[in-house]
Amino acid sequence: MTKRILLAGVLGGFALFLWGSISHLALGLGRVGIRELPQEDAVLNPLRASITQPGFYFFPGMNLRPGASPAEKQAAEKDYEQRYKTGPYGILIFHPQGTVPMSPRQLLVELGLNVGQALLAAWLLSLVGLSRFGPRVGFIVCLGVLAAFTTNIEYWNWYGFPGNYTTAYIFDKIVGFLVVGLVVACVVRVKAARPVLVASKAA
């Protein structure tokens, strides 16, 4: 069974990676809900001047100095709440230094992640004892639904990710796990348990 799980993980991972290529490059799901900055240079030049470290930035900030007194904290929180209500607010993932888009490292990391996901799905499938093909596929699709909802809806709720972006990525993940399920369910098979007959002795 271990060899089948490993084989299912590798094949399922490559299938998931292939689906990701199709969904992002051919179908364009990875670009849904993403807009380009208007007057990009006018926006980026001040950012280049003020942000020197790569990071995950949230604005507006609290502007709270270390060791602030309780009164200063209360005033900062009130000011933060007012600026948040007034807007703008958002998040920014910023890298001052450039890099190659879709670098070999990123592709290898994605492939490794996909194989790891498929391996985990295959191992969990081997534990539940489902003998029929349909329920085996359905089990892995349920894993995909759980994974897709856990992150994407939280990002939509807390960080304001666009609804169409969120919907597209949920669809992408669920279909991806459907592909994994079809592959893994063909490799990881569990024999149906035979009913145990208990013979009773006549008194």
Report whether the peptide linkage leading into residue 60 is cis, meaning its omega lies within 30 degrees of zero: yes
Please tell me the distance from the alpha carbon of residue 173 to that of residue 148, in angstroms, as a whole number: 6
- Output the pLDDT for position 22: 96
The letter for the amino acid at 29 is: L
Q: What is the pLDDT of residues 109-148, one digit of tens each?
A: 999 999 999 999 999 999 998 889 999 999 999 999 999 9
- Output the pLDDT for position 9: 94
Q: What is the pLDDT of residues 185-195, one digit of tens each?
A: 999 876 654 55
- Output the pLDDT for position 67: 85
String of DSSP letters for 63-96 = ---TT--HHHHHHHHHHHHHHHHHS--EEEEE-S
Distance of CA 21 to the CA centre of its chain: 15
Given a cut of 70, is residue 202 above it in pLDDT? no
Using N-to-C axis directions, what is the helix angle for 163-187 and 133-159, rounded to 10°? 160
Q: What is the pLDDT of residues 12-27, one digit of tens each?
A: 999 999 999 999 999 9
Contact 63, 103 (CB under 8 A): no
Delimit the domains of the chain by residue range: 2-52+101-187, 55-94
With bands split at pLDDT 50, 70 and 90, how would you rate the model's confidence at 169?
A: very high
Contact 166, 13 (CB under 8 A): no
Q: What is the pLDDT of residues 64-105, one digit of tens each?
A: 888 889 998 999 999 999 999 999 999 999 999 989 988 999
